[in-house]
């Protein structure tokens, strides 16, 4: 029986929640929210454009960075419609089907981003531990195949979650805890047996983000050991500096994710504001910070941005 049939003639809808303690009429939130999304769009689109147009950036590291930018764009744009609808138009209701679609894209792009971070860890592992074999191992063909596997994994691993959710019966409260639809948040409103759905959701997380984070950790243990074996301090600092941007991307992605997962499962006593802030940090902070960190810490990208700024300044003077 479909969700709409369970509720009579009216279609099933959920009520999304803005920031707890913030009145719905707080339209002043629109400006920082729009600035955040514009910064995300500008930063990631600029990265993609620079990598595409600058042939010196056509290397495995920057191919991985471009895939990360695509995943960041997808993750942010998945939350954009409902976030702006709440804070701009004060519209909190969302049809069940639209909620399932949004949930699917959020979790799918999240799994894709986790896979990209793993691929970038492998890139740094080869670059530092086997520098002479870097060009022969990490070919453009391998990167494209890895990108295909990462995207297919994100698409198909999350698909059963959406299919199972569409079969769930909902009754009682329809109020979600966030400004967008998340799997665990929707699952707590189900009035039937959620064991299969919950078990598969947990298994999907373990097989994607769980294995990815463990492999990234093991990679960096080997990387740190290789860096410490380098004789000169200058060479050690130079080798490790190539990992700083990736480490920042890993931390900004996994720390809010782990915190959100823990609070959903064990933090029932915590305030709603804690859940909201962790979810917003998990979905909004990495897409905004990643292009900024890579632009600041990566010499080639920084030099390319300076050249573009100088060219623009010269054109304006002329």
Residues 144-174: tens digit of each pLDDT: 999 999 999 999 999 999 999 988 888 877 8
Distances (CA, A) of 70 to 100, 291, 293: 22, 11, 16
Is 180 among the domain residues?
yes
CA 21 – CA 129 distance, rounded (Å): 51
pLDDT digits (tens, 9 = 90+) for 89-100: 778 889 999 999
Is 250 among the domain residues?
yes
Q: Which residue has the higher pLDDT, 62 or 271?
A: 62
Q: What is the CATH number of the domain that holds 199?
A: 1.20.1070.10
Q: Which domain holds residue 111?
A: 10-317
1-5, 29-33, 49-53, 54-58: least confident range? 1-5
State residue 24's pLDDT score: 52
Yes or no: say if 73 and 41 are a contact pair by the CB < 8 Å rule.
Answer: yes
Query: Mean pLDDT across the stretch 35-39?
Result: 90
Quick check: 1 pLDDT over 50?
Answer: no
Q: Which residue has the higher pLDDT, 274 or 122?
A: 122
* pLDDT band (50, 70, 90) for residue 106: very high
State residue 167's pLDDT score: 86
pTM of the model: 0.89
The set of residues, in sequence order, having a beta carbon less than 8 Å from that of 31 and lying 6+ positions away, is none
* Residue pointed to by tokens 């000169």: 232
Range among 79-88, 127-136, 214-223, 305-314 rated most confident:
214-223
From the list 154, 168, 155, the residue with the least C-alpha distance to 197 is 168
Yes or no: say if 150 and 114 are a contact pair by the CB < 8 Å rule.
Answer: no
CA 30 – CA 41 distance, rounded (Å): 16
> For the chain, how are helix, strand and coil distributed in percent, rounded to 5?
80, 5, 20
From the list 145, 152, 113, the residue with the least C-alpha distance to 246 is 113
* pLDDT band (50, 70, 90) for residue 240: confident
pLDDT digits (tens, 9 = 90+) for 302-317: 777 777 667 665 655 5
Give the chain's length. Answer: 318
Domains of the chain: total = 1
Is 1 among the domain residues?
no
* Residue pointed to by tokens 């209701």: 93
Quick check: 318 pLDDT over 60?
Answer: no
Q: Which residue has the higher pLDDT, 302 or 246?
A: 246
Q: Where are the beta strands (DSSP E) in the chain?
A: 13-15, 93-95
Is 5 among the domain residues?
no
């Amino acid at each position: 029986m479909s969700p709409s049939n369970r509720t009579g003639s009216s279609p099933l809808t959920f009520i999304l929640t803005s920031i707890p303690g913030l009145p719905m009429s707080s339209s002043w939130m629109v400006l920082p929210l729009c600035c955040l999304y514009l910064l995300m769009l500008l930063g990631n689109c600029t990265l993609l454009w620079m990598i595409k147009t600058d042939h010196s950036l056509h290397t495995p590291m920057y191919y991985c960075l471009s895939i990360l930018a695509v995943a960041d764009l997808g993750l942010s744009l998945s939350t954009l419609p409902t976030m702006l609808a709440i804070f701009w138009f004060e519209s909190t209701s969302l049809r069940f089907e639209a909620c399932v679609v949004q949930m699917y894209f959020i979790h799918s792009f999240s799994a894709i981003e986790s896979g990209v971070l793993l691929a970038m860890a492998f890139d740094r592992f080869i670059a530092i531990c086997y520098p002479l074999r870097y060009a022969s191992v990490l070919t453009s063909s391998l990167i494209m195949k890895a990108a295909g596997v990462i995207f297919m994994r994100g698409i198909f691993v999350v698909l059963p979650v959406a299919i199972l959710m569409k079969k769930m019966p909902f009754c009682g409260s329809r109020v979600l805890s966030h400004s967008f639809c998340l799997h665990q948040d929707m699952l707590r409103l189900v009035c039937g047996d959620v064991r299969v759905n919950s078990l598969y959701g947990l298994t999907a997380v373990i097989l994607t983000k769980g294995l990815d984070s463990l492999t990234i950790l093991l990679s960096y243990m080997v990387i740190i050991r290789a860096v410490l074996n380098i004789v000169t301090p200058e060479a050690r600092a130079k080798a490790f500096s190539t990992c700083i941007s990736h480490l920042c991307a890993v931390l900004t992605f996994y720390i809010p994710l782990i915190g959100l997962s823990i609070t959903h499962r064990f933090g029932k006593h915590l305030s709603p504001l804690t859940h909201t802030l962790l979810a917003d940090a998990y979905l909004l902070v990495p897409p905004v910070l990643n292009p900024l960190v890579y632009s600041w810490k990566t010499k080639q990208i920084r030099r390319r941005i300076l050249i573009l700024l100088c060219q623009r300044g010269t054109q304006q003077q002329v």
